Chain A
Amino acid sequence: MQKQKIAIVSLTSCEGCQFALLDLGQRFLDLMNQVEMVDFRLLEDEEDAGGKLDIGIVEGNPTTKENIETLKKLRKRSKLLVVLGNCAAMGGVPEIKNYQQQKNTIKHVYKYIQGIENPEIREVDNFVKVDFVFPGCPINGEEFVKYFPELLKACLPEGAGKIPVIPDQPVCVECKKNGNKCLLLEKKPCFGPMIQGGCNAVCPSSRMMCQGCRGLRPTGNVKAMRATLKNFMTDEEFENTTEIFGLRDDIEDRGRK
C-alpha cells in the first residue's frame, strides 16, 4: 500500500508544538517512517511539490495574509485538517492583545507601524474547518502518539476508522492519579476542574496552577469554578488569568449559551 501523505506546517508561533513532536525522539521518527512527509520545513529542505494530502497539520496563529493563504491551501489539499496547540486552537498568548486596546499594544513595540500587519487574533477555525485539535501549550506529545495513528485510519476509505474524541474529563483526574496535593484544597487558585484533561496534569504536578491552555471541557462548569475561586482570586485576577491562553472569549461564549 502506498504511504499516506502528511504535511506539518507552522504559522506565526513559537514552534513549541513542533518541538514537542521532535522531542519524542525515535518514537517520532518511527511514526514519520510510516507516512510520506510532504512538507516539514523543520527537517527538510526539499520543496513541497503540492498535491493531495491525507492529513494537514498546522500550528500557530494566522496573523499575516501569507499565513492565511498557507492555511487555506493546506485545508484544500487535506482530507483532514488537524491543529496543534493553543495558538491555533484558542489564540494563545498573542490573543492577549485582543483584550487590550490593540493600537496601543503595537505602539509599545514599534516606532514605525505603517505596513506591519496587526489584525485581531483569530483562531484557525475562523478561517477553515478543523477536524481535530491537539490541545495544550504546548501539545502533549504522548497524545500525538496515541491519536495520530487513529487519525491516519480515519483518512482511509469508509469504515476503516473514525476521528478520535478526547475523553471529557477534568485535569483533576490525572492530577489525583499522580498523587498531587490539590492546589484548591490548599486555597490556591487552579482551573483544573473546568479544563479538558489529557495533559497528565503536567502543571499542577509541578505545583503550577492550571491556567486552562487546553480549553474548557464540554461539561466544564464555569459558574461553579468561579464560585470556588472567589475565595482566593478577585474577579479581575480571574479574568486576567483567563486571557493568558485565550480562554476568556470561550468562557464568555459559554456564558451566553
Chain B
Amino acid sequence: MQIKLNHINKIEGHAGFMASVLNGDVKSAKIEVKEGIRLIEGILIGRHYADMPVVAQRICGICPVVHNLTSIKSIENAMGVKVSQETINLRKALEWGQIIHSHSLHLFFLSLADFLDIDNDLKLVEKYPEETQKAIALREYGMAIVKIIGGRVVHPLTNEVGGFKKVPRLEEIQTLIKQGEATLLTAFEVAEFFKGIKLPKFERETEYVCLDARGEYAIYDGDLVSNRGLNVPVLEFEKNFHEVQRPREIIKRVESDGKTSYMVGAIARINNHHKKLHSRATQYLDSLGFSLPDYNPFHNVLYQMVEVIHGIEESLRILHILANSNLENAITKEYQVREGFGVAAVEAPRGTLYYHVDIDSKGYIKDVNIISPTAQFLSHLEDDIKKYLPEILNISDKDKEKKMRAFIRAYDPCISCAVH
C-alpha cells in the first residue's frame, strides 16, 4: 500500500509525502521537497560580511529575525566584536517577538484546523471569530516587538554587526509594555481554548537537543545540551552533528554522532528546561497534566502555547529593563574588521539554528554554513511516521492522509529554511 500526499499545504515552503507499507510494515516514509534551490551559502561566498545578515535572513519570511541574529552573532564571534548589554537585551526581545508571532501563526492558523476537522482557515475564522481575534492579537504583539525594535516584521532592518543602527524611543518601549500586559491576559484565554483540543496519542522515545544557559530559558546563547547527556559548547556543533546529503536530495539532513535522529524545537526545549519557565507558563504547563519527559510530537503544538506565554512574560521582563536603560549604548560603535572563524546558535521557533562563517582580513566571506532546525528534525519526523503509520492502518485512506498531514504539521516544518 502506498500513501502519497502530493502537496502538504499549510506549512512554510513546499513539500509532499510518500510512504509504502507492506503487510503492516512501513518500508519507507519520506518527505519530498517540492521547491528549488537558492544556494544562499554559495552566493554569500566572496561577498562582504555586512551583506550576510541582509541576504541570509531572506532564507525565511516567517523567521527572518533568527537568521539575522545568528548571522550577526557568528560574524561578531569571527571578528571578536563585543556588544553592549543593551544590544543583547534588544536582541533577546527581538527573538522572543519572533517566537511569539511564529508560534501563534502555527498554533492557530496552520495546525489548529487539523484537530477540529476543518480544511480551510477561512472557515475556521468564520466558526471561531472570537478565538481568531485573540490569536491575531497574540501574533500582533510578537510582530509589534519586531517592528518597533527591528524596523520591520518581515526582514528587519536595524540590527547589525556591533549593535543597532537605530534604537526605539522610550515611548515606544512603554507602548509595547502596555500591549504585552494586555496580550498576556489574551494568551491565557487562547491557552484555555487550546486545552480543549484533543490531540492524538503516540509516543517514541528520543533525544531532545537545545541551547542551555545558566539562570534562564535559553534562546539567545548558551551550550548545546540534550536529555541524553550531551553538553558541549556551540563551537563543537559540527563535531556532534553532521550534515549528510543523499544523492538528489536538496535538504542536507543532520545526523547526530549516535546516528539516530533527534528532535529540536518547542517540545525539546520544554522537555529540557521546563523548570526554567516563568510562573504563568509553568502554571499552564502544569494544568495540561502531561508527564515529562513527554515523547508525543503532537504535543509540540501545546508546548508552543506554553512558550508563547513564557515569551510574553520574558519579553515584558526585558522591556522593563530596556525602559530603564540608556539605549544609546546599543548604537553600533566602531570596531575592527578582522580575519577569523566564528560560530553561533540561536533558538529559532522550530529549534536550534546554527551558523559558521569564515572571514578574510578585508571582511570578505571565505566560507559559510547554515544548519536549520527543519534539516535537523527531518529524519526524526520520518522515523516517527514509520512508527505511527502501523498504529493507524485500520482507518480509511482518507483519514490516514488527514492524520499524516496533521502529524507533519504538528512538527511545524519550514521547508524554505531546510533547503535554503
Residues of A within 8 A of B (CB): 10-20, 22-23, 25-26, 29, 32-33, 37, 41-46, 61, 63-64, 66-67, 92-94, 96-97, 100, 104-112, 114-118, 137-138, 202-203, 205-208, 211, 237, 240-241, 244
Contact = CB atoms under 8 A, between A and B. Distances in A.
B9 A37 contact: no
B119 A44 contact: yes
A104 B39 CA distance: 11
A42 B109 CA distance: 9
Interface residues of B, number: 62
Contacts of A108: 39, 41-42, 45, 367
Q: Which 9 A-B pairs have the closest CB atoms?
A: A16-B61, A63-B36, A206-B151, A12-B36, A105-B42, A206-B157, A96-B43, A41-B9, A43-B121
Contacts, number: 178
Interface of B: 7, 9-10, 12-14, 34-43, 45-48, 51, 54-55, 58-62, 64, 105, 109-110, 113, 119-122, 125, 132-133, 136, 139-140, 143, 151-155, 157-158, 165-166, 245-248, 250, 252, 367, 405, 416
A244 B120 contact: no
A22 B248 CA distance: 33
B9 A44 contact: yes
B285 to A, nearest CB: 28
Contacts of A114: 247-248
Contact of A46 (B64, B119, B153, B248): B119
Nearest to A204: B157
B140 A14 contact: no
Contacts of A20: 61, 153-154
Nearest to A203: B157
Contacts of B42: 97, 100, 104-109
Contacts of B109: 22, 43
Contacts of A203: 151, 157
B43 A13 contact: no
Nearest to B150: A206
Contacts of A12: 35-38
Nearest to A86: B58
B372 to A, nearest CB: 12
Contact of A94 (B38, B41, B48, B248): B38
B157 A105 contact: no
Nearest to A33: B122
B63 to A, nearest CB: 9
B269 to A, nearest CB: 23
Contact of B152 (A41, A93, A206): A206
Contact of A117 (B36, B47, B64): B36
6 contacts: A16-B58, A41-B10, A94-B43, A108-B42, A138-B154, A207-B158
